[in-house]
A and B are shown apart, each in its own frame.
Chain A
């Protein structure tokens, strides 16, 4: 409360003195001291701050130095399951052997520096902080002096004013007396505090110099110690690890580094995985083109492995994979067009054993053009086992010698087949024997017929009404029954009827008149 009262009393004068209406007394000697003191204050503050920075820097220097050494030595040690780094990189042997020592040295340094830092903390920082508190006290005294000076000026001012007044009233006289008293009090206060400050501040400055002397010396030796410690450790490490470290300039260090630099830089640069991926598809293409260049070496190893199951191996005809792209719709069993080179992953399906070439070689052209229901040749050898038939789902035209041509819906007598429909099977149709892709056919007749019907319907693009569909379905069922009941060699007999059924599904064509040639 007292403080607020004082502050209120001082305010009017502060304002008037600010705007130059009332004069202020000055003490040049004190002002000079004050300036010095202020600079000391900032200096003390900075000293504390910088000492802290220094300590932090030293701490981080050793922490990170140790961290560096640790990670470096980890890198130079076998990572999970690697072996014999030394054997592989004999040129780096020195480093590999030394990294651990270095790590230990750094760790020791880190522990060694801790007491040194604590010393700085307790012997430098603590006294500096102490000085700072003392300075704060002095600052308080100075503020007090300011206040007293203000009071002094204030009363002095009022007193002069009142004294200068020509005609004094009663109250003025009373005030004058009171003011004189106040002024004397204020002037005493001010004088006392001003004198003591003027006396003690120079003393304080002197003391602070005395103070900073030993502080600086201690600090200096602490710093020196840190450097010395590092130097000592580095020297002992270099001795034990046989490194030449004495007095090399930065330039020399760099030079010797450059000399030792190996082509590892380039080697890494040349790795594919450190290059950005532009596009995977392009990557695949590039690798494919690279592979096809050395496919000569790879092909022999790839082909037998896929085809080894079959005893009589036929080399994949070169034309096959190329034509497959065009014939894809009609002949799906061909290897997908993506594998333009035979060596890449997808080897063409191996051929199953084929009958001797002489048996069909001459008939190849006729087979292609022959009308679908040619007179069945009865010369086929009767197999002992029950003859199996498959229904062709697609038209297939022979593309190489030994292929079997047929039309969709043909019943193919199986001569030999493999378990996989990916393979080429051997079959007989219209008295001709040859190989054909197993994918073209279906074993289950109902499914095959239904499939065929649906496809034909769609292909025809004709609006088909329900009756037709039903009819075809029914007929198909019927046909299947017949098929099953009729013995295997009656293929010639029911063949036309199969055709009929097949076309019955499409109303545009006259039923019962198979128009195979029209396709």
Chain B
């Protein structure tokens, strides 16, 4: 921090202290505060949106990737006994379709998701630090203005011995007021605009999002359901009836009964 900056911040700290103790009057601008509160809501929502959109995409990717790895594992299981069983064929088909799904997502949805969701949201979120900078600046200038005003008022109330003090304080007050007004006005004017523009800005993303969600489910369903052909005819019904679970249980029981599992 530069020396000038340090001096400023020390002065402002003093002003804040005096304001806290009620020595210096605070500027209260209801209009600005309303706008800022709205902006804060928007900022929060946008940041949450960014987080969610990113996590959503990651989850999609990790879902298909996990499926791919599960398929690999299944192959190991099948290769333990006979490679040419019906199950092994199905497992192979599953692996193929899952891999297909994974590459489809990467190839077809990665780009669009980036352009339609991640980028607009990211861009919007990137504006926030700059806007916040403006807000901080405005608050600092407000402190300066408050302190200059109270100084001026003191001098007017109690004329000083030095006649140059009054005009100097007046000038300082005017300068600070001007700067503060400028920043304040700008924020009051433009924050609502920014908020207002969010609707047309994000509007197309919504449709794209829905389409991609649908696309994801559609692709996944189509690709996976193709694997069913390799299953035995009764598998589907068995699954529905919970027969498969019973099978699993019986096999497990058999395993437990193996002499090598006795643990002695």
Bits for B116-155, please: 1 = Cβ < 8 Å to A, else 0: 1000000110010011011001000100000000000000
A98-B206, A134-B256, A247-B218 known; A54+B63 contact, CB < 8 A: yes
- Selected from B45, B66, B201, B256, the residue in CB contact (under 8 A) with A71 is B45
- Selected from A208, A217, A230, A336, the residue in CB contact (under 8 A) with B235 is A217
What residues of chain B lie closer than 8 Å to A46, measured between beta carbons?
A: 69, 72-73
Nearest residue, chain A, Cβ from B69: A50
A102-B210, A196-B259, A275-B130 known; A72+B221 contact, CB < 8 A: no
The reply to whether B78 and A196 contact each other, CB–CB distance below 8 Å, is no
A268 at the interface (CB under 8 A from B): yes
The reply to whether A50 and B41 contact each other, CB–CB distance below 8 Å, is no
Nearest residue, chain B, Cβ from A261: B204
- Selected from A127, A209, A345, the residue in CB contact (under 8 A) with B248 is A127
What residues of chain A lie closer than 8 Å to B218, measured between beta carbons?
A: 231, 246-247
- From residue A367, how far is it (CB to closest CB) to chain B in Å? 24
A171 to B28, CA, bound (A): 108
What residues of chain B lie closer than 8 Å to A199, measured between beta carbons?
A: 259
A439 at the interface (CB under 8 A from B): yes
- Selected from B82, B179, B198, B251, the residue in CB contact (under 8 A) with A75 is B198
Q: Which size bracket describes the interface of B in this complex? A: 35 or more
- Selected from A91, A332, A451, the residue in CB contact (under 8 A) with B161 is A451
What residues of chain A lie closer than 8 Å to B174, measured between beta carbons?
A: 336, 338-339, 345-346
- Selected from B127, B137, B161, B201, the residue in CB contact (under 8 A) with A264 is B201
The reply to whether A68 and B141 contact each other, CB–CB distance below 8 Å, is no
Nearest residue, chain A, Cβ from B235: A217
A135 to B253, CA, bound (A): 13
Interface of A is mostly: helix
Within 8 A of B (CB), among A252-304: 253-254, 256-258, 260-262, 264-265, 267-268, 271-277, 280-281, 283-284, 287
Within 8 A of A (CB), among B235-252: 235-236, 238-239, 243-245, 247-249, 251-252
The reply to whether A212 and B74 contact each other, CB–CB distance below 8 Å, is yes
B186 at the interface (CB under 8 A from A): yes
What residues of chain B lie closer than 8 Å to A51, measured between beta carbons?
A: 66, 70
Q: Which size bracket describes the interface of A in this complex? A: 35 or more
A51-B70, A214-B248, A257-B205 known; A272+B186 contact, CB < 8 A: yes
B7 at the interface (CB under 8 A from A): no
A46 to B228, CA, bound (A): 24
The reply to whether A217 and B200 contact each other, CB–CB distance below 8 Å, is no
A1 to B31, CA, bound (A): 83
- From residue A254, how far is it (CB to closest CB) to chain B in Å? 4
The reply to whether B111 and A268 contact each other, CB–CB distance below 8 Å, is no
The reply to whether B167 and A211 contact each other, CB–CB distance below 8 Å, is no
The reply to whether A273 and B204 contact each other, CB–CB distance below 8 Å, is no
A146 at the interface (CB under 8 A from B): no
What residues of chain B lie closer than 8 Å to A277, measured between beta carbons?
A: 133-134, 137
Within 8 A of B (CB), among A228-259: 228-231, 234-235, 237-238, 243, 245-251, 253-254, 256-258
A81 at the interface (CB under 8 A from B): yes
A412 at the interface (CB under 8 A from B): no
- From residue B119, how far is it (CB to closest CB) to chain A in Å? 10
- Selected from B80, B87, B187, B238, the residue in CB contact (under 8 A) with A36 is B80
The reply to whether A134 and B111 contact each other, CB–CB distance below 8 Å, is no
What residues of chain B lie closer than 8 Å to A211, measured between beta carbons?
A: 248, 251-252, 255
A64-B59, A79-B38, A216-B90 known; A251+B52 contact, CB < 8 A: no
Bits for B149-186, please: 1 = Cβ < 8 Å to A, else 0: 00000000000010110110011001101110111001
A75-B49, A131-B255, A234-B214 known; A273+B187 contact, CB < 8 A: yes
The reply to whether A205 and B81 contact each other, CB–CB distance below 8 Å, is yes
B1 at the interface (CB under 8 A from A): no
The reply to whether A61 and B56 contact each other, CB–CB distance below 8 Å, is yes
A223-B224, A251-B112 known; A216+B91 contact, CB < 8 A: yes
The reply to whether A276 and B254 contact each other, CB–CB distance below 8 Å, is no
B17 at the interface (CB under 8 A from A): no
The reply to whether A208 and B199 contact each other, CB–CB distance below 8 Å, is no
The reply to whether A127 and B178 contact each other, CB–CB distance below 8 Å, is no
A76-B199, A207-B254, A346-B174 known; A274+B112 contact, CB < 8 A: no
Bits for B50-85, please: 1 = Cβ < 8 Å to A, else 0: 011101101110110011011011101110111001
The residue among B49, B124, B206 with the most chain A CB atoms within 10 A of its own CB is B206
A238 to B206, CA, bound (A): 12
A140 at the interface (CB under 8 A from B): yes
- From residue A69, how far is it (CB to closest CB) to chain B in Å? 9
Interface of B is mostly: helix
A123 at the interface (CB under 8 A from B): yes
What residues of chain B lie closer than 8 Å to A258, measured between beta carbons?
A: 115
- From residue A419, how far is it (CB to closest CB) to chain B in Å? 12
A137 to B36, CA, bound (A): 65
A212-B87, A217-B244, A265-B201 known; A99+B206 contact, CB < 8 A: yes
The reply to whether B182 and A283 contact each other, CB–CB distance below 8 Å, is yes
A262 to B108, CA, bound (A): 24
What residues of chain B lie closer than 8 Å to A264, measured between beta carbons?
A: 197, 199-201
A287-B182, A338-B175, A339-B174 known; A60+B131 contact, CB < 8 A: no
The reply to whether A219 and B70 contact each other, CB–CB distance below 8 Å, is yes
- From residue B208, how far is it (CB to closest CB) to chain A in Å? 5
The reply to whether B56 and A64 contact each other, CB–CB distance below 8 Å, is yes
A246 to B78, CA, bound (A): 37
A31 at the interface (CB under 8 A from B): no
A56 to B200, CA, bound (A): 34
What residues of chain A lie closer than 8 Å to B205, measured between beta carbons?
A: 72, 257
The reply to whether A214 and B247 contact each other, CB–CB distance below 8 Å, is yes
B10 at the interface (CB under 8 A from A): no
B24 at the interface (CB under 8 A from A): no
Bits for A63-98, please: 1 = Cβ < 8 Å to B, else 0: 111011001101110011110010011011011101
Instruction: Please list 22 pairs of residues, one from A and one from B, whose beta carbons are closer than 8 Å in the complex, sorted by A's number.
Output: A47-B77, A63-B55, A72-B206, A76-B202, A79-B38, A80-B34, A80-B41, A91-B203, A102-B206, A102-B210, A215-B244, A216-B90, A217-B231, A227-B221, A230-B216, A231-B217, A245-B210, A254-B116, A264-B201, A268-B197, A273-B191, A336-B175
Top 10 A-B residue pairs of the complex, sorted by shortest distance between their CB atoms: A336-B171, A230-B217, A250-B108, A227-B220, A61-B59, A260-B204, A231-B217, A43-B76, A67-B52, A214-B244
Given contacts A245-B210, A268-B127, A439-B167, 19 further A-B contacts (CB under 8 A): A51-B70, A71-B46, A71-B52, A72-B49, A75-B46, A98-B206, A138-B261, A207-B255, A211-B255, A218-B245, A228-B221, A234-B210, A238-B214, A253-B215, A260-B203, A273-B131, A273-B190, A336-B170, A451-B161
A residues in contact (CB < 8 Å) with B: 36, 39-40, 42-43, 46-47, 50-51, 53-54, 56-58, 60-61, 63-65, 67-68, 71-72, 74-76, 79-82, 85, 88-89, 91-92, 94-96, 98-99, 102, 123, 127, 130-131, 134, 137-138, 140-141, 196-197, 199-201, 203-221, 223-224, 226-231, 234-235, 237-238, 243, 245-251, 253-254, 256-258, 260-262, 264-265, 267-268, 271-277, 280-281, 283-284, 287, 332-333, 336-339, 344-346, 393, 439, 451
